[in-house]
A and B are shown apart, each in its own frame.
Chain A
Amino acid sequence: NAGVMQNPRHLVRRRGQEARLRCSPMKGHSHVYWYRQLPEEGLKFMVYLQKENIIDESGMPKERFSAEFPKEGPSILRIQQVVRGDSAAYFCASSLRSAELSLAYEQYFGPGTRLTVT
Chain B
Amino acid sequence: AQSVTQLDSHVSVSEGTPVLLRCNYSSSYSPSLFWYVQHPNKGLQLLLKYTSAATLVKGINGFEAEFKKSETSFHLTKPSAHMSDAAEYFCVVSGETGTALIFGKGTTLSVSS
Contact = CB atoms under 8 A, between A and B. Distances in A.
Contacts, number: 69
B103 A112 contact: no
A31 to B, nearest CB: 9
B49 to A, nearest CB: 7
A4 B43 contact: yes
A48 B99 CA distance: 7
B102 interface: yes
A54 B106 CA distance: 28
A103 B105 contact: no
Interface stretch (A12-20, A39-47, A67-75, A76-84): A39-47
A39 B9 CA distance: 14
Interface string A98-113: 0110011111111110
Interface residues of B, number: 26
Given A42-B104, A56-B100, A103 B31 contact: yes
Interface of B: 30-32, 34, 36, 42-46, 49, 51-52, 90, 94-95, 97-106
Given A56-B97, A103-B32, A107-B101, 18 more contacts: A4-B43, A35-B103, A42-B90, A42-B105, A42-B106, A43-B44, A45-B95, A45-B101, A56-B99, A91-B43, A93-B44, A93-B101, A99-B97, A100-B98, A100-B99, A105-B32, A106-B46, A109-B43
